[in-house]
Each structure stands twice: as C-alpha cells, then as structure tokens.
Amino acid sequence: MKHRLTALLIISTMLLLLFSCEKPQEAAIGYDHVITVVCDDENWVACEPILNETLGKVYKTPRTENFYTFHRISVDDLKFNLKNKNLMIITQLEVSSEITGQVKSMLPGSTLKEIRERPNGYYYQEDAYAKGQALIIVAGKSYADLRKRLKINQDQIFDFVERKMYERNTAFVYRSGEQFDMAEAYYDQHGYYLRMMHDYVEIENSPSKQFVWVGRDFPYRWISVSWSTPNDTAELEDQLDSLLQDTFSNRLGSIAINLDYSDSESFWFQQYSASRYFGLWESIEEVKGGPFIAYGFYEPSKDMLYLLTGIIHAPNKDKIPYIRQMETIFRTFDTKVFEPE
C-alpha cells in the first residue's frame, strides 16, 4: 500500500510539472490598426467595399486616417504572419485554391460543415495562434455569398476586432503603472473612478464647475471629465449636446469645436446608452488644433450626466493611436473603485 501511494505521488508530481512547464502563448505581433488579409484578387474586389464600411472607416484628424488598414499577403506568406494581431482569411469553399486548402487545414470538418449549412455563418477565434490575436475566417459559396456573410456580420466582426484591440491597448497603456492615489482621490471627491496613466498631471480640479482636467505632453493629450445633474424638461441627447458645448466653451477655456468637421453617433458604452462625439477642435487664440473624442452618458446610480473628453495636439504624427489610447482610458470609467488583482 505504501509503495502504491508513493507511486501515485510521483505520477501526480510528474503530471503537475508537465502541465506547469507548458510554454506560455507568445503575444501577437504587428500594428493594432493593421488587418492582415489572405484573399484572392477576385474575392477581394467583391468584399473590400463592405469591409471599408466598418473596419476601414475614415476619421479626419484633420488629415484623413482610417480606423483599420488592410495589408494583403499571399497564402505562402501566411506562415510568416500567423501571429499577427489581426488576421483575416476570405475564400470560397467550393473553389479549389491554395487559400481554400489552407482554410481546410486550419478548421475541422465539422466547423466547415456548420459554416456551409448556416447561411450567415463565419468563423472567429481569439488568441488562436498568439495571445491577443483576432482571427476571422469568412468562407462562402460564391462572390455574392461572401458579400452577404460580410454584410450581415460586419458589425459583429468590427466589435470583435475592437474588443481585442482594447484588451491589448489596456495592457499597453498601463504597462508602466498607474496613479491609484490620484484616481481614488477623484472617486472620494467626485464619485467616479477612471484609471489614470502614470504620467498624467492635474491641470484643474473644480468642484464648483463640476470639472476635472488632466494632461500630458509630447505629444499633448488632455482628458477632462465634466458632469451635471439631468432635468426632465429636455431630451437626454440634447442635454449631452449642451454639456459638450459647455465643456468646450466654458470649462476648457480658449478652444472651440469646429462644427464643420464634427459628428456624433449613438453606441453602448459599458451598460450605458451613450453618445460618441468626434471631430476637430481649434484654438481661439492660436493657429493650432487637432482631433477630439468624447463619450456622453447618463449614470443612473449617481443620477448624473457625464462627459469624458479627449483632446489631442500632435503635429506631423498619426492621431488614431492616441485617440485609441484615450478611449481605452475612457473605458475604465466606473462609479466603483477599481480593485487590481
């Protein structure tokens, strides 16, 4: 009996060592805004316009930048790009090609059968070949079928790529640490929590104006939080619009929104029905400006309207990465104190 227990203990220890020594998954590589695409020319001509509606959406900063750009590679180069952050493969299952063969080698037959049988089906997987990766495979029976599958699922595909991007960006933004004391002080004073990057400094903290303003330089990035008590005499969207205008006109000082290059859209921010504002700001006193992004929403537990605003001044630099960093910070907003693991 004693020998049997000893043998079991040795086997258990060996199994524990075996699984604990498994090599961790490597991090996905490449740029967050680049989607690596494997697709034949004919299929790409059919599918590119639909992909541009969401993933290739244009943002004026004031120069034109895209949320995501597409980098097409040959199937032979896939092995060198298998760990890229965003990987998309588009093919027709009924057509014999190297890409179709590649897809059949990557997915089990049961998955391919399910895609065939579901008219709106496509395949996606996170962390497929690297940690943080977004893998998408769209396979159809014809050009029309590919277009239909992309059209029906374009919002879901966009949301999936966005979610993985924000996961990676959160790790990147806070890689050098964060200012817990500053964030907790704002919670104690104002009732909201926003994870603060390690190098942001306070510019203004005004309870009477219901306004907090922090920033960093080189390139310049400013984040502000404005809030106000809602009323029952106006629509929520109109109140958020007024809070945006008041923030730029009275709280931030000598800058204004360029109304010719500004827009808004409705979206779900965490559990809130929110408005996203984006466009260009300009200085009233100097010849300078840049892009801004803002999230406006009603927080029921506090019975408060909040506006999170990000302003960027980065001449001769791409602005989209900085906009994404600010939105990453926005997405840490909470009315409960963040508790790190």
What does the pLDDT read at residue 336? 85
Q: Are residues 69 and 98 in the same domain?
A: yes
Q: Are residues 124 and 219 in the same domain?
A: no
User: What's the distance, CA 106 to chain centroid?
Assistant: 27
Quick one: 263 exposed, middle or buried, by C-beta within 10 A (0-12, 13-18, 19+)?
exposed
Q: Output the domain CATH number for residue 277.
A: 3.40.1000.10
CA distance 123 to 131: 18
Q: Are residues 169 and 184 in the same domain?
A: no
Mean pLDDT across the stretch 181-204? 96
Q: Are residues 226 and 134 in the same domain?
A: no
Q: Output the domain CATH number for residue 155.
A: 3.30.379
Question: Quick one: how many helices (H) and strands (E) in the chain?
Answer: 8, 14
Neighbours of 293 (CB within 10 A): 22
Q: Give pLDDT tens digits for 145-190.
A: 999 999 999 999 999 999 999 999 999 999 999 999 999 999 999 9
Q: Which domain holds residue 124?
A: 34-173
Domain count, the chain: 2
Q: Are residues 252 and 293 in the same domain?
A: yes
Cβ contact 73:38 at 8 Å: yes
Q: Which of 1-5, 108-112, 294-298 has the lowest mean pLDDT?
A: 1-5
**DSSP class of residue 23?**
P
Q: Give pLDDT tens digits for 242-290.
A: 999 999 999 998 899 998 899 999 999 998 999 999 999 999 988 889 9
pLDDT above 90 as % of the chain: 83
pTM score, two decimals? 0.88
Cβ contact 159:143 at 8 Å: no
Q: Are residues 317 and 270 in the same domain?
A: yes
Q: Are residues 97 and 121 in the same domain?
A: yes
CA angle, corner 132, sides to 129 and 133, nearest 5? 45
Q: Are residues 78 and 61 in the same domain?
A: yes
**74 belongs to a structural domain:** yes
Q: Are residues 153 and 186 in the same domain?
A: no
For residue 176, the SS3 value is: coil
Residue 14 banded pLDDT, cuts 50, 70, 90: low
Q: Are residues 141 and 194 in the same domain?
A: no
pLDDT of residue 294 exceeding 60, the answer is yes
pLDDT above 70 as % of the chain: 93
Q: Give pLDDT tens digits for 22-68.
A: 578 899 999 999 999 999 999 999 999 999 999 999 998 888 999 99
Q: Are residues 120 and 221 in the same domain?
A: no
Report the candidate in 227, 282, 273 with the shortest Cα–Cα distance to residue 254: 282
